[in-house]
Amino acid sequence: MSLLDVMVPVRRDLHREPELGLDLPRSAQRLMAALADLDVEVSEGETCSSVTAVLRGGQPGPTVLLRADFDALPVAEKTGLPFAADNGNMHACGHDLHAAMLVGAAHLLHEQRTSLAGDVVLAFQPGEEGYDGAGRMLAEGVLEASGTRACAAYALHVISSVLPASMLATRGGPLMAAVDTLDVTVRGMGGHGSAPHRAKDPVLAAAAMVSAVQLAVTREFDVFDPVVVTTGSLHAGTAHNVIPEDATFSSTVRCFTEAAHARLQEVLPRVCRGVALAHGVEVDVELQPLFPPTVNDVSEAQWALTIGRERLGDERVLELPNPVTGSEDFSRFLEAVPGAMLFLGATPPGADPGTAPYNHAPEADFDEAVMTVGAELLAALATERLRR
């Protein structure tokens, strides 16, 4: 049986019945079943559906951690795949491939376990999509699962477009953004739409806040230390001729440095409160941090790129000139130990990387063949890091 034959059933089974958040009992059971024939020490999480497998090397040495997330998104799938989900959820970010690749890496590492100079922790993580599953696993001691604290941590993330299939990409330093949520409630005084002077219009104030926040980003932050704010939710009112009592909006806030992050905590609430004062309304502002920036250790990232070039060739490895504004809770692992996250192109056959649906789209599809590349890279990162 080929390595792909091991991984494809795992990936498709997870894809067919995706689960959300931190409680993924069926998916966790499927992963444990995929590891059952291997000589690994498997444990389940206490506060979430995580699965941790420790593979013991035959020689003494340190511990390396490999992580794969396996939660899905609340997206109704539109791929038309024969194994497409029909429960309203979808593996639109490729986490099903991540989990299957880590299963594949476990099989590769198991074959050479007697020569491994140390141990490998295989961390299957739920709750990456906004639930801080990484934080849960770290709090439960995943870094010490082998009995020796991991000296490094690595993860791969597939991308359904942008990168050609099987192309590897990463960079040292900031790779992905920190993310916060800005939740604002504007409280005014309702009234008739024909007489706004007898009311205090929260809709106009909320709209002004959305624009003022965008203006603040361009005027209060260094253009070389960028900040991105996008308002994705704006709600108010029930009828065209009624001024409502309140209005709410929610925004995603992203940056790459602690300096910008700290300044955001001061600027955005101040701007919203200033606009509220100008409009004579009241406002509640909550800026809630979710994940810190994903910052690759420079030496680990450069070394990982070298491993990639040795196995894939220079033409299939890209050192990114800039970080990307997506976010990842693997950042928690990289705050705790040196390591790196790498992107792996998985644009489907026949699709143009420049126009194919991107991760999180209901049409997002991934090339399963890249799972062999991913599993081999994960195994190589572990074995070579232990050898170092």
The tens-digit pLDDT sequence of the chain (388 residues) is 799 999 999 999 999 999 999 999 999 999 999 999 999 999 999 999 999 999 999 999 999 999 999 999 999 999 999 999 999 999 999 999 999 999 999 999 999 999 999 999 999 999 999 999 999 999 999 999 999 999 999 999 999 999 999 999 999 999 999 999 999 999 999 999 999 999 999 999 999 999 999 999 999 999 999 999 999 999 999 999 999 999 999 999 999 998 999 999 999 999 999 999 999 999 999 999 999 999 999 999 999 999 999 999 999 999 999 999 999 999 999 999 999 999 999 999 999 999 999 999 999 999 999 999 999 999 999 999 999 8
Where is the domain boundary, 291, 307, 335? 291
Range(s) of the domain holding residue 103: 3-176+293-387
**Structural domain total, the chain:** 2
- Based on the fold, state whether residues 150 and 220 are members of the same structural domain: no
Same domain, 187 and 283: yes
Backbone angles phi, psi at 41, to 5 degrees: -100, 110
- Other CB atoms closer than 10 Å to residue 200's CB: what's the count? 20
HSE, side-chain direction, 13 A CA sphere, residue 116: 26
pLDDT value at residue 40: 97
- The pLDDT tens digits for 16-63 are 999 999 999 999 999 999 999 999 999 999 999 999 999 999 999 999
* Residue 163 sits in the same domain as residue 192: no
Same domain, residue pair 240 and 110: no
- If you write DSSP's letter for every residue of 75-133 in order, what string do you get? ----S--TT---SS-B-TTSHHHHHHHHHHHHHHHHHTGGG-EEEEEEEEE--TTTS-H
Instruction: For residue range 67-96, list pLDDT tens digits in order.
Output: 999 999 999 999 999 999 999 999 999 999
CATH number, domain with residue 214: 3.30.70.360
159 and 32 in a common domain: yes
Task: Measure CA 69 to chain center.
Answer: 8
The answer to whether residues 226 and 208 belong to one domain is yes
Alpha-carbon span 54 to 56, nearest angstrom: 6
Say what the pLDDT of residue 202 is. 98
Based on the domain organization, do 280 and 340 belong to the same domain? Answer: no
Residues 155 and 271 in one domain: no
Same domain, 88 and 54: yes
pLDDT score recorded for residue 258: 87
Which amino acid, one-letter code, is at 333?
F
- 49 and 148 share a domain? yes
For residues 242 and 297, give the distance between their C-alpha atoms in angstroms, rounded to a whole number: 55
